[in-house]
Amino acid sequence: MAEGSLAGRPAPDGQVAGRHDPRFAAVRGEFEANFTDRGETGGGVCVAVGGTVVAELWGGCSDATGSRRWQRDTLVNVFSVGKAMAAVCTARLIGQGRLNADAPVARYWPEFGAAGKDAVTVRQLLSHQAGVPGRSRRGGRPDRRTGITSTPSAFWPVS
């Protein structure tokens, strides 16, 4: 469906702006409910199906005082949203048999196995039981692709 065919309509109290394909009116309804029923103060969503935008909505305010309206291009910090995306991708890879949760992380990321971490499994890493909760002052250079330091040893023995 072409971008120009998205339907727009005023939201209650002018809370939500944007457009949506009429087949995705329920998306708009739920997005509006974030403000009218769920206490949300501001946000935006863009839904694409098969590479085509079917809903692009925004509403509320982008500041604590309520004086700045959320715009189509309002920037926000996403903080830990990557964790959910990583979990979805990991679950899919495990479901497809392309990732084994009980295999050592070093099978997929050989450098991770340095400094006694060779036995740490994917399952232990994902469940925060690997003994490597963060960067250590003990050194190690971050991987240029991930920013994660692979060389420091675990903070406690992993069995």
Catalytic residues: 80
Q: Residue 148's Cα: distance from chain center in Å?
A: 18
- Cβ pair 98, 122 in contact under 8 A: no
Element at 28 (helix H, strand E): helix 25-36
Q: Within a 10 A sphere around the Cβ of 87, how many other Cβ atoms?
A: 11
How many Å apart are CA 148 and CA 117, to the nearest integer?
14
Contact 56/49 with Cβ under 8 angstroms? no
Gap between the Cα atoms of 137 and 152, Å rounded: 9
DSSP category for residue 37: T
